[in-house]
Amino acid sequence: MTSEQPKTVKRRNTVQKKLVIDALKRLNCHASAGMILKELQETHPEIGRATVFRVLSAMADDGELQRLKFTDDDDRFDVSLHPHSHIICRCCGKVDDVCFDQNPDLKNHVSDSAGFKVEEITIEFKGLCSSCREKADAN
Amino acid sequence: MTSEQPKTVKRRNTVQKKLVIDALKRLNCHASAGMILKELQETHPEIGRATVFRVLSAMADDGELQRLKFTDDDDRFDVSLHPHSHIICRCCGKVDDVCFDQNPDLKNHVSDSAGFKVEEITIEFKGLCSSCREKADAN
DNA sequence: ATCCTTATCGAGACTGTATCTCTTTAAGTT
DNA sequence: AACTTAAAGAGATACAGTCTCGATAAGGAT
């Protein structure tokens, strides 16, 4: 939630930045900053908490990563820039891509009582992932 | 995000509970716990922060209030129990009801790559309220 | 290769929302 | 009025995320 401006300063390719991106890809996928921090601290305990958050935020601001927001969970990051919806497991928090027939002109089907100008529509899916479903069925 | 069970203990009608609900209605509407706390502290500085959060959460758990979640803002509370979508102003945070033609069987139009069981679909609208729009146009 | 500028780092303080603990208070029944 | 216990109030705690600031290093210039 910082500036929306495209890079005005030139970014440097630091060791830490590479570590963060590699971890994000390795965790496959949609990891949160906290998940990446935890993962990295096992192999690189010297990496700083602020660094992980900073790298991810900067890259999202620069349009090199997609920041995913959820109502009940931390922000996640996606190496895919293609806009698509996501589903999150209410049990383990795993996030997966979702394809569905989006109503193409949803904005035009919206009306409210106070004259809002609709700018953004976000659809959040919540459910149970296959492995959590199996665990639930086993009980 | 506590228990989902319907009241197992009998609730008491306390002075504080009434104050919180009155404030929620007076603020008309969709206030957050923080907004209600701030409002109440002006007239009843003795009210505790935990009390406001507790009353709202308990009533939401009991199904007497609706808890609204947003990706970028605090939880809001709605005295209306009828399920409906909401739009939030990206500028001032005002929340308003929204009516739109919801795809009735959206769940059946969803597919994902990892076998999630879809349980819940939330649509969040974001935009600019009429008063913030006027302010923006004035500049 | 060395120097220089400055973006980035690491450590830890700080925010803000929300929850929890523990003691005290008071709602509602007997 | 007495009693039981839900709920209140104060303050500690949790936790994601941000900010500050001195130290470090990326990468272009010499």
Query: pLDDT tens-digit profile of B29-87?
Result: 799 999 999 999 999 999 999 999 999 999 999 999 999 999 999 999 999 998 888 99
What pLDDT score does A1 carry?
37
Q: Does domain B84-138 match CATH 3.40.50.720?
A: no
Structure tokens at A77: 């990051």
**In chain A, where are the structural domains located?**
15-76, 84-138
Q: Does domain A15-76 match CATH 3.40.190.80?
A: no
Q: CA angle A92-A56-A26, nearest 5°?
A: 55
What confidence tier does A101 reach under pLDDT thresholds 50, 70, 90?
low
Note the CA–C1' distance, A33 to D17, in angstroms. 10
What confidence tier does B1 reach under pLDDT thresholds 50, 70, 90?
very low
- If one compares A4 and A98, the residue with the highest pLDDT of the two is A98
Convert the pLDDT of each residue in B110-124 to its tens digit.
Answer: 766 678 898 988 889
Instruction: Tell how many helices (H) and how many strands (E) occur in chain A.
Output: 4, 6
* 8 A C-beta contact, residue A72 and residue B69: yes
pLDDT at A6 over 80: no
Note the CA–C1' distance, A108 to D3, in angstroms. 62
Nearest 5°: phi and psi at A38? -60, -45
* 8 A C-beta contact, residue A11 and residue A64: no
* 8 A C-beta contact, residue A50 and residue A29: no
What pLDDT score does B112 carry?
64
- The pLDDT of B22-33, averaged and rounded, is 92
* 8 A C-beta contact, residue B70 and residue B108: no
Neighbours of A124 (CB within 10 A): 21
Letter for the amino acid at B76?
R
Contact B128 A117 (CB under 8 A): yes
Nearest residue to B44 (alpha-carbon basis) of B27, B66, B19: B19
Is the distance between the Cβ of A10 and the closest atom of strand C smaller than 7 Å?
yes
Convert the pLDDT of each residue in A13-68 to its tens digit.
Answer: 999 999 999 999 999 879 999 999 999 999 999 999 999 999 999 999 999 999 99
| Inter-axis angle of helices A15-27 and A33-43, nearest 10 | 110
| Most confident option among A113-117, B103-107, B110-114 | A113-117
Q: Is B126 helix (H, G, I), strand (E, B) or coil?
A: strand
The CA distances from residue B80 to A35, B27, B30, B71, B124, in Å, are 37, 14, 9, 21, 17
Is the distance between the Cβ of A41 and the closest atom of strand C smaller than 7 Å?
no
- The pLDDT of B7-19, averaged and rounded, is 86
What pLDDT score does B4 carry?
40
Interatomic CA distance for residues A127 and B116, integer angstroms: 6
Contact A128 B117 (CB under 8 A): yes
Taking the model in full, what pTM does it have? 0.86
Interatomic CA distance for residues B26 and B88, integer angstroms: 19
Q: In this complex, which of B101, B115, B122 lies closest to A130 when CB atoms are compared?
A: B115
